[in-house]
Structure 1
């Protein structure tokens, strides 16, 4: 009887033990520093990043999704790009499915929302457009923040947010 109970317990727990940890959490400053470049390759330019604005999430396998503000003054980006975005695990933002890769994003104000465009960092090819919506009054303004899915599943740019779903 004890053997049967032990076998049942092991059969029940084995799938839980064998599953890879897939929870996402906020990345630490050190993890962001290691993952994000001090100068991001954007088309033919290497644009400096503002590391104090870096934010990201990381999963149990060490895959990170992170972003940082680009210092674009004096570059040919000409307002087209505002942020560098590193994706090591697939992510869907609005209706845009982004595979692992390096991206840049830029935004334009449109009434009470932002129109956010995502581009391939190396080529400048547009990957898609999403609409960021204004946060309720009284919410904290962030230059850039990726909230872990357990908290909000949103990317915050200033007073605006985009919803997202991380992949595995």
Structure 2
């Protein structure tokens, strides 16, 4: 009779110590506030030799517990030599992998071309225009809210949304 009691007591005492092993780790990333986005995103982004105005109301981003932000904003490219090549400015303060494209900390621009049922999204270095890679954005299910640009925190959807399309991503630390 004493042995079963001791086993139960041991389980009761060990269970609280084992609970963290079974719990899913919470992401240290959250949505950035408007004030945080305005403090890091430029009103005019340096894109190659141009300074292109940004549409701050479209700004979206995530921030980690160390204060590193990954954020983007729509570029107002009318009248610039971007010629449809770029549509968004993208600030990376912590490494991120989007599809198969690994981006270290830096300033980037992205542009997209519509495919049959997807977007081919190309990433470029903002200062030089050098292409960094291409990722495929897939159409979201019908009924999903359309966003001009939104970076969802990993705890919600872990995607970057452009219109009706989304790219999956993995943030670094």
TM-score range, shorter chain: 0.7 to 0.9
CA RMSD across the alignment: 1.1
Q: Deviations over 1:107-153 (max 9, x none)?
A: 00000000000000000000000000000000000000000000011
Q: Deviations over 1:30-68 (max 9, x none)?
A: 000001000000000000000000000000000000000
Name the CA distance, whole Å, in 1 between partners of 2:27 and 2:102: 19
Residue 68 of structure 2 corresponds to residue 63 of structure 1 = yes
Does the 8 A contact of 1:135 with 1:159 survive in 2?
A: yes
Residue 101 of structure 2 corresponds to residue 119 of structure 1 = no
Does the 8 A contact of 1:93 with 1:163 survive in 2?
A: yes
Does the 8 A contact of 1:82 with 1:107 survive in 2?
A: yes
Does the 8 A contact of 1:114 with 1:160 survive in 2?
A: yes
Residue 147 of structure 2 corresponds to residue 137 of structure 1 = no
Q: Map 1:17-166 to 2 at 5 A.
A: 23-166=28-171
* Alignment-derived partner of residue 16 in structure 1: none
Does the 8 A contact of 2:27 with 2:154 survive in 1?
A: no
Q: Tell me the number of residue pairs that the alignment of Structure 1 and Structure 2 aligns.
A: 149
1:22 CA displacement: 6.4
Q: Which runs of 5+ in 1 are unaligned?
A: 1-11, 13-20
Name the CA distance, whole Å, in 1 between partners of 2:114 and 2:171: 26
